[in-house]
Chain A
Amino acid sequence: MPILCQIARPEHRATGYGLMNLVSITVGAVATVALGWMRDCGIKFSVAFNLSAAVAALSAGLILLVKPPASLQLGGHGGVSGGANLFPKLYVQVVEACRAGNLVRAQALQAQIQRVSDAFYRIGKYSSAIIKGIKCALACLGICDDFMAEPFHRFRAEERELVKLRLKEIEGELSKLNL
């Protein structure tokens, strides 16, 4: 159920669990019959155990493929996104892709949003990094000044160079996504 909660909307959870019940009991019944048949055929128990271990390992692999979707896919209306000040098209398009049901595009854009977060929100050692990073990047794009009220201070030249470098990288990646 906790995994189901990550991928199913609240109004579909009970139905989802019901389907899981059906599948698990059916698989259990089939496995019981199959094991009985193997026993009757004179196949050793160790073979049966190895087989079920292999199926279990395969299932574990399949579970790793279950990816929790973003809140938009779970019915969220949107998000409060700092990065939208820098690259508004990216954030608008992820919402549009979700609404259009284009999950492949939405996931690519979401990965790019993660890249923006990683690039600008963690420069330096202070927890004010996110607001400094956004303002500095906005200043580099010529949108506004990065002056900050006390007790905060804008980034120094070296951090500013890093922001410029990352802006170039991100802009290059965005052009590949037709943004």
Chain B
Amino acid sequence: MSQSTPATAARVPTYAWAVVALLWPVVMLNYLDRQMVSTIRASIRADIPSIASDQEFGTLMAVFMWVYACLSPLGGFIADRFNRRWTVIGSLFVWSAVTWLTGHATTYSQLLSFRALMGISEAFYMPAALALIADFHAGGTCARAVGGHQSGIYAGLALGGLGGYIAQTSSWRNCFTCSASVGDFLTATTCRFSVRSRVRSIAPPATV
């Protein structure tokens, strides 16, 4: 926490990019986990007969989006009020647990509640992660850093198709259990390599 000493201050730019690198697989998984359900629709419907119609399946997607949207401001507020690092790690841990639960669901109502829980837990990631990146990239590198992080989103969406492949070759449940274990691994790495929160009180002097 001694950001003011010259040695630490000089190290900040490298660390600022390390933050983006550490968060990239996390945001990739964030979008992979939310996307996967739609790529393995057929397998899930075949396995869980209590999903009566495609409309009910559509509700699974909608309930996630609505919960996610409504709780995003709260997620942001928690990240502002408390600690961004722990908001990111907590979010990742909980949504990985929910992903694991999704892989073990046996009824429609279970799936529905797990998707809602997914919305709650993922709502805490994006605002905290982007604000964390912006904290470290206070100079002219903010847009580049956010853009780099953003590319993880599209990688996650693209890899969502991988779910379909796993579902075809083994079982759709494996998609979720695999992804959940990747999430646990990432939780461990983000804790270990400490995505730090930045001390924000130090600002460069302004000149007019």
State in angstroms the CA–CA spacing of A22 and B133 once bound together. 20
A10 & B146 in contact (Cβ 8 Å cutoff): no
How many whole Å from A32's CB to the nearest CB in chain B? 10
B134 & A15 in contact (Cβ 8 Å cutoff): no
A17 & B127 in contact (Cβ 8 Å cutoff): yes
Using Cβ atoms and an 8 Å threshold, which residues of chain B touch A80? 205-208
Given A10-B134, A15-B76, A18-B77: A91 in contact with B142 (beta carbons within 8 A) = no
B143 & A2 in contact (Cβ 8 Å cutoff): yes
Using Cβ atoms and an 8 Å threshold, which residues of chain B touch A83? 208
Q: Which residue of chain B lies nearest to A19 when distances are taken between CB atoms in the complex? A: B73
State in angstroms the CA–CA spacing of A66 and B72 once bound together. 23
Give 5 closest A-B pairs by Cβ, nearest first. A18-B76, A21-B72, A14-B79, A25-B69, A14-B131
Using Cβ atoms and an 8 Å threshold, which residues of chain A touch B146? 1-2
A38 at the binding interface (Cβ < 8 Å): no
User: Which one of A44-52, A55-63, A71-79, A169-177 is at the interface?
Assistant: A71-79
A12 at the binding interface (Cβ < 8 Å): yes
B51 at the binding interface (Cβ < 8 Å): no
Interface digits, A2-27 against B, CB 8 Å rule (1 contact, 0 not)?
Answer: 10110000111111111101100110
B160 at the binding interface (Cβ < 8 Å): no
A179 at the binding interface (Cβ < 8 Å): no
A127 at the binding interface (Cβ < 8 Å): no
How many whole Å from A84's CB to the nearest CB in chain B? 8
Number of residues of chain A lying within 8 A (CB) of chain B: 31
A15: which of B126, B127, B142 is its contact (CB, 8 Å)? B127
B72: which of A12, A18, A71, A117 is its contact (CB, 8 Å)? A18
State in angstroms the CA–CA spacing of A81 and B79 once bound together. 35
Interface of B is mostly: helix
Chain A residues close to B by CB (< 8 Å): 1-2, 4-5, 10-19, 21-22, 25-26, 29, 71, 75-76, 78-83, 91, 113, 117
A-B residue pairs in contact (CB < 8 Å), sample of 14: A1-B142, A2-B146, A5-B142, A10-B134, A12-B80, A14-B75, A14-B84, A14-B128, A15-B77, A18-B126, A19-B72, A19-B76, A22-B72, A79-B205
Interface digits, B134-148 against A, CB 8 Å rule (1 contact, 0 not)?
Answer: 110000001100100
Q: Which residue of chain A lies nearest to B147 when distances are taken between CB atoms in the complex? A: A2
A18 & B208 in contact (Cβ 8 Å cutoff): no
State in angstroms the CA–CA spacing of A76 and B133 once bound together. 21
B11 at the binding interface (Cβ < 8 Å): no
Using Cβ atoms and an 8 Å threshold, which residues of chain A touch B126? 17-18, 21
B76 & A14 in contact (Cβ 8 Å cutoff): yes
Using Cβ atoms and an 8 Å threshold, which residues of chain B touch A4? 134
A1 & B70 in contact (Cβ 8 Å cutoff): no
B150-208 contacts to A (CB < 8 Å): 200, 203, 205-208
Using Cβ atoms and an 8 Å threshold, which residues of chain A touch B135? 10
B206 & A14 in contact (Cβ 8 Å cutoff): no
How many whole Å from A5's CB to the nearest CB in chain B? 5
State in angstroms the CA–CA spacing of A168 and B79 once bound together. 52
Given contacts A17-B127, A18-B126, 14 further A-B contacts (CB under 8 A): A13-B127, A13-B130, A14-B79, A15-B77, A15-B79, A16-B76, A19-B72, A21-B76, A21-B123, A22-B69, A25-B65, A79-B205, A79-B206, A80-B206
